[in-house]
Amino acid sequence: MDIERRHIISVTVQNESSALSRISGLFAGRGYNIESLTVAPIPNEELSRLTIETYGNQKTVDQIEKQLNKLIPVLKVVEREDFVEKEMAIIKVPIEESLSDFDALCRAYNGKIVNVGEGSIIAMVADDPKRVAFFIKAVQRFNPIEIVRGGVVALER
Amino acid sequence: MKISGARMVIESLKKEGVKTVFGYPGGAIMNVYDELYKQSDIQHVLNRHEQASVHAAEGFAKNSGEVGVAIVTSGPGFTNAVTGLANAYMDSTPMVVISGQVPMSLIGTDAFQEIDAVGISRACTKHNYLVTDAKQLPEIFKEAFHIARTGRPGPVHIDIPKDVTAQIEDFEYPDYVDIPTYRPENRGDIEAIKTAVEAIKASEQPLLYLGGGVVKSNSSGLVRKIAEQTGIPAVETLMARGVMGADNPLLISMLGMHGSYAANIAMSETDLVISLGARFDDRVTGKLSEFAKDAKVIHIDIDPSSIDKLVDVDYPIIGDLNFVLSDMLPLLTDIDSEKFADWRETINNNDKLHPLSYEKKEDILKPQQVIEKIGEMLGDNANITTDVGQHQMWTAQFYPFTRGRQFNTSGGLGTMGYGFPGAIGVKVADPNRVSINVTGDGSILMNIQELMTAVEYKIPVINVILNNNYLGMVRQWQTLFYEDRLSETDLSVQPDFIKVAESFGGIGYRVATIEEFEEAIRDAVEKNIVAIIEVAVDRRENVMPMVPAGGSLYNMMLK
């Protein structure tokens, strides 16, 4: 019950400019941490969906849920363990001889090379958040210049 | 009808039934003040500081149960109002606070008197709006009042740029509002209610724990009925004083840090806490792990986030107390109140053992004596407001409150300076009763300028300063926990409060005996103008009992 663990909270909110700051302000003001946060409008609706990745014990997360629900523009808050979760990352590495090894690594993580420049290439992967973390570890040997993680998106089964 | 945004503000307020607003004009809100000037349906009270405007609106709201309204300008007007918003937020008071803002084209340019008002108020309001188009105004006002007064009430802030108040648009005020993302649960779940009733029937030593929610939902009558029907004794929080009525034999007293011995022991020994609109504040619970340790907990609250926030709840019920208690009452008819006779006897014995008390002295007045005297003289005929500190606790302990809305105090935020403007709001809401502000020599100076407001509008608040020449509550803590190192709490350097009152056009009394005090109260009530009664009281009197911060509720200092 009191173990700190990772939680995914999915929040459906009205599309309004202040909604995000209400939510992030709630986390900041109460000392809850946000590990990652994604937000985008839901197609054809006046709503947006936020996915928040956070760490905390169950009591804290229950309280976060209730506080989120208390915000006027929040329609729905869902927290569960069996979400289908995906995360994307894009990565820039210098062009070296082992290009085919790099390409194979990206493919193993459901990715591919998306841009080839003069001295560097950019690849993307999209996979379970855990596997994206593995990928980032594995890719270290290609001396990445920059890595951008997209944050978790999740959907109930 | 095509009208300006400013006019829309006034028309919206009228539609919401607002008769009185408190405020202070300034550059960005001038269009609204211009419209106020042109009409006579809404009376405006010009406080002498924006903080006081918001407190006055809150005093009005707490006493009347209606939405309190304050109007301020941008920048410093708004930042001065923030303490008032925070106070209303912590005490769940229904309010709408309107602020001016610099014109849309200047927002974000560090313009004169510009501040990100909604950015600041987000943390201390139930909801807020920055209006970017006058077309939005009718709907925003309808929503704001709806949000302020429904569910767990609270303050709503509306920030309006100056060009929006000048914009001319069609005005049609909606009759009805539905916010799909905001639909408070009023009806408690009937199965949950039945389960809770079973728990009450199974308990041996149940205790009603009454909070401010009882007052806000106007369910004092139902609560009294339930107590009387079942014979279950009750404790009140600071915010619930008056709910049971002082002479009700089922009322133990206030509980918490300065609660009575019997109340705190009852809470420690009960086997079933029945929490009605209370929120297990740290000033009530003391050390959480020891709080009502052996008890099951029923928690009825309109705000789901109050449940399980601090204390684990066995029987949660989310809903408006009026609905829930109405459903509960008929299910409780077969409880024989004799069942709890021993429990009540134990409590009564505890109360006899260590009643709320103090020792009188020959040569100097005790502050508690003064409170008792006001109660004796005015009783139900007065509304009592306080500032924050020792005098507040003594008032809560010793005034014989008879109804929930009689006592008006800054509970959650603990705002020194709330009392005087709060009492002004109370007097406006309930002009037929005497409005007393019990205050301290520290607190009164935090909004003393309201003498001017009270004189101008003939609002005869009686300020009773329990003067101990100390910042008393902090002094008490220094004495008890800091080896009496009185860091910056000696307030011996003071104005002549009598002359202060007189210079504004009020009346002042300096008294040192109970007879003089009685005479001063009588005279002030008769003269019916704003008054300061400065009472010299024992400098070193402490508020007792006391549960030291973080200590267990049952470990009280009694002397």
Domains of chain B and any CATH numbers: 2-170 (3.40.50.970), 190-353 (3.40.50.1220), 367-536 (3.40.50.970)
| Contact between A149 and A89 (Cβ < 8 Å) | yes
Q: What is the pLDDT of residues B239-249, one digit of tens each?
A: 999 999 999 99
Confidence at B59, pLDDT banded by 50, 70, 90: very high
Residues 6+ apart with CB under 8 A from A86: A126, A127, A128, A129, A152, A153, A154
Q: Is B50 a catalytic residue?
A: yes
Does residue A51 sit in the same domain as residue A91? no
The domain boundary residue, chosen from A51, A79, A107: A79
Nearest CA in chain B to A28: B123
What residues in A contact B182, CB-CB < 8 Å?
A: 72
Which tens digits make up the pLDDT trace of B279-328? 999 999 999 999 999 999 999 999 999 999 999 999 999 999 999 999 99
Chain B environment of A62 (Cβ under 8 Å): 308
Query: For chain B, what percent of residues have pLDDT higher than 70?
Result: 100
Of B112, B360, B527, B559, which is the active-site residue? B112
pLDDT band at B37 (very low <50, low <70, confident <90, very high): very high
Nearest alpha-carbon partner for B271 in B327, B202, B321 = B202
Which range marks the domain in which residue A34 is found?
5-79
Q: Are residues A52 and A32 in the same domain?
A: yes
Confidence of residue B397 (pLDDT cuts 50, 70, 90): very high
Q: What is the pLDDT of residue A96?
A: 83
Same domain, A88 and A73: no
pLDDT score, position B269: 97
Cα separations in angstroms, B67 against B58, B146, B554 = 8, 10, 39
User: What pLDDT is stored for residue A3 in this prediction?
Assistant: 87
Q: Is B446 a catalytic residue?
A: no
B512, B450 contact by CB (below 8 A): no
Q: Mean pLDDT over residues B155-168, rounded?
A: 98
Is the model's pTM score more than 0.90?
yes
Among A55, A79, A103, where does a domain finish?
A79
Question: Are residues A70 and A90 located together in one domain of the fold?
Answer: no
Mean pLDDT of B184-213: 96
Chain B closest CA to A73's CA: distance in Å? 6
Do residues A128 and A72 both lie within one domain?
no
Report the chain A residue with the minimal C-alpha distance to residue B147. A72
pLDDT in tens, B499-531: 999 999 999 999 999 999 999 999 999 999 999
How many A-B residue pairs are in contact by the CB < 8 A criterion?
Answer: 37
- Pick from B122, B147, B308: CB nearest A22: B122
**Cβ neighbours around A59 below 10 Å, total:** 13
Q: Are residues A109 and A142 in the same domain?
A: yes
From chain B, the residues in CB contact with A69 under 8 A are 304-305
Specify the pLDDT at position A44. Answer: 85
Let me know whether A75 and A47 are in one domain: yes
Active site residue: B416, B473, B544, B556, which one?
A: B473
Q: Where are the alpha helices (DSSP H) in B20-161?
A: 30-37, 50-64, 76-90, 117-121, 137-149
CB count in 10 Å sphere of residue B110? 8
> Where in B461-543 does DSSP place strands (E)?
462-467, 507-511, 531-536
Of B249, B252, B220, B219, nearest in space to B234 by CA: B252
Query: What's the rounded Cα separation, in Å, for the pair B467 and B508?
Result: 14
* % pLDDT > 90, chain B: 99
DSSP string of B278-291, one letter each residue: ----HHHHBSGGGT
Answer whether residue B353 shows pLDDT above 80. Answer: yes
* Partner A, chain B 132-191, Cβ-Cβ below 8 Å: 147, 179-182
User: Quick check: is B162 catalytic?
Assistant: yes
- A116 C-beta neighbours (distance < 10 Å), count: 11
Q: For residue range B409-438, what is the model confidence (pLDDT) as tens digits?
A: 999 999 999 999 999 999 999 999 999 999
At A64, give phi and psi (nearest 5°).
-60, -45
Distance CA B232, CA B472 (A): 36
Q: Of A32, A57, A79, which residue is a domain's last?
A: A79
Cα of B537 vs its chain's centroid, Å: 26
Side-by-side strand order, sheet with B234-236: B251-254, B234-236, B206-210, B272-276, B296-301, B315-318
Cβ separation of B181 and A18 shorter than 8 Å? Answer: no
Structure tokens at B280: 């297990």
Token pair, residue B93, equals 């008071």
- Whether A130 and chain B come into contact, CB under 8 Å, resolves to no
Which residues does chain A have within 8 Å of residue B180's beta carbon, measured at their own beta carbons?
A: 75
CA distance B471 to B235: 29
Find which of A49, A63, A72 to mutate to test the B interface (most B CBs within 10 Å of its CB).
A72
In this structure, the dihedral spanned by the alpha carbons of residues B346, B351, B352 and B358, taken in order and rounded to 10 degrees, is 170
Q: Note whether A134 and A102 are same-domain residues.
A: yes
Cα-trace Rg, chain A: 18
**Listed residue (A82, A86, A87) closest to A157, CA to CA:** A82
Whose CA is closest to B93, among B84, B104, B80?
B84
Q: Residues B109-115: what's their mean pLDDT?
A: 97
Q: Do A75 and B147 touch (CB under 8 A)?
A: no
Contact: B182, A69; criterion CB under 8 Å: no
Same domain, A90 and A75: no
B123 to chain A nearest CA, in Å? 8
Q: Any CB–CB contact under 8 A between A27 and chain B?
A: no
User: Which pLDDT score, from 0 to 100, does residue A101 have?
Assistant: 92
pLDDT at A138: 95
Check A29 against B123: CB less than 8 A apart: yes
Q: How many domains is chain A built from?
A: 2
Q: Do both A14 and A60 map to the same domain?
A: yes
| Identified catalytic residue from B162, B296, B366, B427 | B162
Statement: residue B265 has pLDDT above 60: yes
Q: What is the ipTM of this complex?
A: 0.89
d(CA A142, CA B472): 68
Amino acid identity, position A120 = S
Residue A52 and residue A97 in one domain: no
Name the minimum distance, in Å, from the CA of B559 to any CA of chain A: 37
A interface mutation test: which of B182, B183, B289, B312 has the most A CBs within 10 A? B182
In whole angstroms, give the CA distance from residue B490 to residue B475: 8
Residues of A in contact with B179 (CB under 8 A): 72
| Contact between chains at A72 and B118 (C-beta distance less than 8 A) | no
Instruction: Say whether residue A31 is in contact with chain B using an 8 A CB cutoff.
Output: no
Comparing CB atoms, the residue among A13, A70, A73 nearest residue B305 is A70
Task: Please tell me whether residues A74 and A134 are part of one structural domain.
Answer: no
Question: Which of the residues in chain A have pLDDT under 50?
Answer: none
CATH code of residue A37: 3.30.70.260
Per the prediction, chain B carries an average pLDDT of 97
CATH code of the domain covering residue A90:
3.30.70.1150
